[in-house]
């Protein structure tokens, strides 16, 4: 059951109806009503997840139980016990992740490197969303251990935090500190929330079904046989993939945020116009914000961050980015992708240190534009490794591109539409930011936004209905799963 | 319901209707294939609504106006009322995926006008009309349009099914029919946006059913008998065309696909096409092998004659380049034959 399916829309309508009855019709006492709504949402989330494969629920429940039972603060008087408990709480979810996601990859790579006959591997089905809910469980365990948050006493609330269906299978990765407090409040669907949430959901749906999926047709074709195409077409495909993955993943995040908003909950923004970044560091503050925040908080800082000297800082950055790459998928292409970003981050850090330029160094407008273009070019080229099914395929794409090879010229019209839409949205965001600008000296900080309308107005309703009708008419119906489902 | 709620509902309904009208207007130019109507003269099983404007931007980007007979021709052709070359075929020949002036029949008209021959080409290509269907309609089409010199029939295959041929010969061939809809649906069918939604739904259903990839070697002669059976349908068509003093031209438009190395391939192989071409020559039929033409254009110039800017390369119908290639190939074969004469 994916967000962009009729089954999900029916499911979601029923969940909303259930919540509506619970909060506005049934004569229940305040705390009881809240508790029942949590149980109801927990059940709905398990139904949502079990729709893929019932057996996967066992793993989800297992990770939830381990995190719930082992979480505890580091107690001075029982330090060893606390550490053991913490170790178990971190090791078991990681072991599950490693077993299901990386076992075959590491065994295969080991056999290849040492020339050992290839083992058959376990060939386990990768449980959808395992990387996301494992990270949520880990963040909770670590935060409780470090005393940042208190241990959750209710299993239902904790299980709902781990399995909350809008963000269960492809994020955003929600921190316990952000979500659990919401469960202590009377969060319920209201007309205002419905109005906003549905618009955000439809906005995400348009990004995914109309732009990302139509782009996938062209991108898949070029990546399948890059040697067939003219280098300009390959370049267009590389740019198209950069837009496709953004539209796909941010579209999913928007749908998740919209769903949660309708039901009364708030999820943090996961993307903030990443292709407007002036450098790679900024890119990672705007791209998949929940993951980069997680990696920074729980991996980079845990390794020592930038407090242990220059060399160690770069090493920590590289480790973080390599593991971040590996998080996306069990393949060397992902490791390479993470490594390239790691190198770029190190270079940028070294440059800042050497020149003493501030984080937003490029103050002049032309320079800022140049920085954005260079950053985007770098990010686009890195996506080649991310998209390719093997390093051989990635190299074939790059060879065709930089070899200026001849071939079929295919000016895919959806790519042009997507580029135009992205450019228009960027210009609009800049204009919006410029309007907000109060201080004359500070450079304009561009911010993402949702085009939310006031649906009590006639023309706003017309625009909303045209958007829905447009999605139905222009959506690519050939079926294309969300890219981040595989992670 | 409160008063505010009631007002909002009225607003929402009005907004819904307005939005629908806006989308319908958009689709007049985005997806507006002309609807099929019953063909009285039976030259084809059905035709398009005469005089209707059409536009398609879902596969290619094209627009035009259907002529007064219900086919895709520029009006100037029919003004003369004379036909020298009659083209019959499926949606490929019909050419609703390229602009009317880029369609093979229009291009041929221009070529014959330029070389002084002044032949009039008339295109009665119609969607879903296979070579069997056109063979079955051939006699009637000859009577209605009375071509003077040539009849060009599209074929999507170079190996024919004997059962289809036998059905054509004994009169039991099942013609294409138009589905009869209740008045409401028949009216809705005329609204472009509804047509677009219907098409989307059909595509969605097709995806669920799964589509088969093109396999090389599907369209080949697996025995000498297979070639013989194919020859029978060729004779059937040729007899009807030559009886009216015309020459039959068969043009083979294959489906195009590419393998993992980027090589173009078709369902038929070169040997089968060569045998088919040889058989045609022996019977006095002119044969245009578009597989060969498409392959050459791809290998030499990296040009692909099928597929559009909004589809995968090679997928679907002939594009403007493909129509140009087809027109050139038909023109060349006619010019060569007439020079030999």
Cα dihedral angle (B94, B95, B99, B102), rounded to 10 degrees? -100
For residue A398, what are the β-bridge partners? none
Mutate to test the interface with B, among A462, A463, A475 (most CBs of B within 10 A): A462
Residues 234-263 of B with CB under 8 A from A: 258, 260-262
Query: pLDDT exceeding 90 applies to what percent of chain B?
Result: 56
Task: Name which of B14, B258, B312 is nearest A217 (Cβ-Cβ).
Answer: B312
Minimal CA separation from B249 to chain A, in Å? 31
- Separation CA A239–CA A384 (nearest Å): 10
Minimal CA separation from B198 to chain A, in Å? 9
pLDDT on residue A3: 84
SS (H, E, C) chain A: CCCCCHHHHHHHHHHHHHHHHHHHHCCCCHHHHHHHHHHHHHHHHHHHHHCCCCCHHHHHHHHHHHHHHHCCCCCCCCHHHHHHHHHHHHHHHHHHHHHHHHHHHHHHHHHHHCCCCCCCCCCCCCCCCHHHHHHHHHHHHHHHHCCCCCCCCCHHHHHHHHHCHHHHCCCCCCCHHHHHHHHCCCCCCCHHHHHHHHHHHHHHHHHHHHHHHHHHHHHHHHHHCHHHECHHHHHHHHHHHHHHHHHHHHHHHHHHHHHHHHHCCCCCCCCCCHHHCCCHHHHHHHCCHHHHHHHHHHHHCCCCCCCCCHHHHHHHHHHHHHHHHHHHCCCHHHHHHHHHHHHHHHHHHHHHHHHCCCCCCCCCHHHHHHHHHHHHHHHHHHHHHHHCCCHHHHHHHHHHHHCCCCCECCCCHHHHHHHHHHHHHHHHHHHHHHHHCCCCCCCCCCCCCCCCCCCCCHHHHHHHHHHHHHHHHHCCCCCCCCHHHHC
pLDDT on residue B123: 94
- Separation CA B309–CA A194 (nearest Å): 39
Task: Say yes or no: B304 contacts chain A, CB-CB below 8 A.
Answer: yes
On chain B, the residues whose CB falls within 8 A of the CB of A221 are 312-313
Phi first, then psi: give them for residue B239, nearest 5 degrees: -60, -40
Average pLDDT over residues B235-252: 94
Minimal CA separation from B236 to chain A, in Å? 41
Give the pLDDT band of residue B23 (cuts 50, 70, 90).
Answer: very high
pLDDT at B177 over 60: yes
pLDDT on residue A478: 76
| CB atoms A478 and B203 under 8 Å | yes
Task: Name which of B15, B23, B312 is nearest A461 (Cβ-Cβ).
Answer: B15
Residues 188-227 of B with CB under 8 A from A: 193, 196-197, 200, 203-204, 207
pLDDT on residue A5: 84
pLDDT at B193 over 90: yes
Minimal CA separation from A24 to chain B, in Å? 15
> How distant is the alpha carbon of residue A37 from its chain centre?
27
| CB atoms A407 and B196 under 8 Å | no
CB neighbour class for B202 (10 Å; exposed up to 12, middle 13-18, buried from 19): exposed
Give the pLDDT band of residue B45 (cuts 50, 70, 90).
Answer: very high
- Separation CA A315–CA A310 (nearest Å): 9
Please identify which residue in the block is written with the tokens 């908003």.
A261
pLDDT on residue A449: 82
Minimal CA separation from B156 to chain A, in Å? 24
Q: Which residue of A has its CA nearest to B21?
A: A466
Question: Between residues B330 and A429, which one has the greater pLDDT?
Answer: B330
- Residue B134 CA: distances (Å) to CA of A98, A347, B142, B332: 62, 69, 11, 24
pLDDT on residue A292: 93
- Separation CA A233–CA A222 (nearest Å): 8
Q: Is residue A328 annotated as a catalytic residue, yes or no?
A: yes
Mutate to test the interface with B, among A191, A393, A410 (most CBs of B within 10 A): A410
pLDDT on residue A234: 96
| CB atoms A462 and B19 under 8 Å | yes
Domains, chain B, in order of start with CATH, read 73-340 (3.40.50.1110)
Task: Say yes or no: B294 contacts chain A, CB-CB below 8 A.
Answer: no
Q: Taking a C-beta distance cutoff of 8 angstroms, is the pair A228, B258 a contact?
A: yes
On chain A, the residues whose CB falls within 8 A of the CB of B257 are none
Give the pLDDT band of residue B77 (cuts 50, 70, 90).
Answer: low
Mutate to test the interface with B, among A455, A465, A470 (most CBs of B within 10 A): A465
pLDDT on residue A108: 76
In sequence order, the 6+-apart residues with CB closer than 8 A to the CB of A267 are A166, A167, A172, A174, A256, A257, A260, A261
Residues 26-65 of B with CB under 8 A from A: 27, 30-31, 61
Task: Say yes or no: A304 contacts chain B, CB-CB below 8 A.
Answer: no
Go through chain B and tell me how many residues it has: 341
pLDDT on residue A439: 54
pLDDT tens-place string over residues B263-279 = 999 988 888 899 899 99
Q: What is the DSSP letter of B102?
A: G
Say what the ipTM of the complex is.
Answer: 0.86
Q: What is the DSSP letter of B75?
A: H
Q: Is the peptide bond before A172 cis (omega within 30 degrees of 0)?
A: yes
Q: Which of A110, A170, A188 is closest to A484 using CA atoms?
A: A170
Minimal CA separation from B212 to chain A, in Å? 14
CB neighbour class for A29 (10 Å; exposed up to 12, middle 13-18, buried from 19): exposed
Phi first, then psi: give them for residue A437, nearest 5 degrees: -60, 125
Residues 443-462 of A with CB under 8 A from B: 456, 458-459, 461-462
Phi-psi region of B116 (alpha: psi -120 to 50; beta: other; left: phi over 0): left
| CB atoms A473 and B193 under 8 Å | yes
pLDDT tens-place string over residues A462-485 = 999 999 999 999 999 876 555 555
- Separation CA B133–CA A118 (nearest Å): 56
Average pLDDT over residues B65-91: 84
Q: Which residues of chain A have pLDDT under 70?
A: 117-124, 357-363, 437-444, 479-487
- Separation CA B217–CA B221 (nearest Å): 9
pLDDT on residue A483: 59
């Amino acid at each position: 059951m994916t967000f962009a399916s009729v089954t999900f829309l029916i499911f979601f309508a029923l969940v909303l109806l259930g919540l509506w009855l619970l909060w506005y019709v049934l004569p229940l006492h305040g705390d009881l009503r809240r508790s029942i709504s949590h149980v109801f949402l927990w059940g709905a989330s398990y139904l949502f997840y079990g729709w893929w494969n019932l057996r996967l629920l066992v793993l989800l429940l297992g990770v939830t139980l381990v995190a719930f039972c082992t979480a505890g603060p580091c107690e001075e008087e029982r330090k060893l016990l606390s550490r053991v408990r913490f170790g178990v709480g971190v090791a078991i979810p990681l072991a599950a992740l490693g077993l299901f996601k990386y076992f075959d990859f590491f065994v295969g790579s080991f056999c290849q490197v040492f020339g050992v006959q290839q083992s058959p591997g376990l060939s386990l089905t990768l449980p959808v969303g395992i990387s996301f809910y494992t990270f949520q469980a880990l963040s909770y365990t670590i935060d409780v251990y470090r005393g940042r948050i208190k241990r959750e006493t209710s299993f239902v609330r904790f299980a709902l935090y781990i399995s909350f269906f809008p963000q269960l299978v492809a994020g955003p990765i929600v921190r316990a500190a952000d979500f659990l407090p919401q469960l202590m409040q009377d969060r319920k669907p209201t007309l205002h929330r419905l109005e906003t949430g549905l618009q955000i959901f439809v906005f995400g749906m348009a990004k995914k079904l109309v732009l990302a999926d139509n782009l996938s047709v062209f991108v898949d074709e070029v990546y399948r046989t890059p040697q067939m195409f003219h280098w300009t077409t390959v370049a267009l495909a590389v740019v198209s993939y950069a837009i496709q993955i953004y539209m796909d993943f941010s579209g999913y995040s928007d749908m998740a945020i919209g769903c949660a908003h309708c039901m009364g909950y708030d999820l943090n923004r996961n993307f903030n116009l990443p292709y407007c970044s002036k450098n790679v560091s900024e890119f990672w503050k705007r791209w998949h914000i929940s993951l980069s925040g997680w990696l920074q908080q729980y991996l980079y800082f845990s390794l020592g961050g930038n407090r242990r000297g220059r060399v160690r800082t770069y090493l920590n950055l590289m480790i973080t980015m390599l593991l971040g790459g590996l998080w996306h998928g069990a393949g060397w292409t992902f490791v390479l992708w993470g490594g390239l970003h790691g190198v770029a981050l190190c270079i940028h850090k070294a440059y800042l240190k050497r020149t003493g330029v501030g984080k937003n160094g490029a103050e002049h407008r032309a320079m800022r534009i140049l920085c954005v273009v260079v950053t985007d070019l770098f990010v686009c080229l890195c996506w080649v490794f991310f998209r390719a099914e093997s390093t051989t395929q990635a190299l074939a794409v790059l060879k065709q591109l930089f070899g200026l090879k001849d071939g079929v010229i295919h000016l895919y019209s959806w790519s042009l539409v997507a580029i135009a839409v992205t450019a228009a949205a960027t210009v609009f965001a800049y204009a919006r930011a410029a309007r907000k600008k109060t201080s004359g000296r500070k450079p304009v900080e561009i911010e993402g936004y949702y085009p939310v309308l006031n649906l009590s107005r006639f023309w706003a309703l017309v625009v909303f209905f045209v958007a829905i009708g447009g999605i139905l008419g222009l959506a690519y119906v050939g079926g294309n799963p969300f890219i981040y489902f595989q992670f | 319901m409160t008063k505010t709620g009631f007002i909002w509902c009225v607003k929402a309904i009005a907004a819904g209707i307005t939005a629908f009208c806006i989308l319908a207007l958009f689709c007049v130019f985005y997806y507006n294939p002309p609807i099929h109507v019953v063909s009285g003269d039976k030259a084809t099983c059905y035709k398009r609504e005469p005089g209707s404007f059409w536009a398609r931007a879902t596969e290619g980007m094209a627009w035009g106006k259907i002529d007064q007979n219900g086919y895709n021709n520029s009006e100037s052709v029919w003004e003369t009322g004379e036909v020298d070359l009659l083209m019959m075929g499926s949606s490929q020949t019909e050419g609703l995926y390229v602009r009317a002036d880029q369609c093979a029949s229009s291009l041929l008209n221009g070529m014959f006008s330029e070389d002084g021959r002044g032949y009039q080409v008339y295109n009665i290509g119609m969607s879903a009309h296979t070579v069997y269907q056109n063979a079955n309609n051939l006699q009637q089409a000859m009577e209605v349009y009375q071509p003077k010199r040539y009849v060009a029939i599209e074929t999507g295959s170079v190996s024919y099914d004997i059962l289809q041929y036998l059905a054509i010969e004994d009169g039991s061939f099942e013609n294409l029919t138009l589905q009869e809809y209740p008045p409401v649906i028949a009216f809705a069918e005329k609204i472009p946006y509804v047509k677009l939604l219907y098409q989307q739904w059909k595509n969605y259903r097709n995806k669920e059913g799964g589509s088969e990839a093109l396999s090389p070697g599907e369209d080949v002669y697996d025995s000498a008998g297979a070639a013989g059976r194919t020859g029978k349908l060729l004779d059937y068509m040729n007899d009807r065309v030559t009886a009216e003093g015309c020459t039959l031209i068969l043009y083979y438009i294959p489906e195009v696909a590419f393998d993992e190395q980027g090589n173009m391939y078709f369902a038929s192989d070169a040997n089968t096409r060569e045998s088919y071409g040889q058989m045609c020559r022996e019977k006095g039929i002119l044969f245009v092998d578009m597989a060969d033409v498409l392959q050459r254009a791809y290998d030499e110039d990296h040009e692909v004659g099928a597929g559009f800017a909004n589809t995968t390369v090679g997928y679907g119908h002939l594009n403007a380049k493909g129509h140009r290639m087809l027109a050139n190939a038909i023109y060349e074969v006619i010019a060569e034959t007439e020079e030999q004469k």
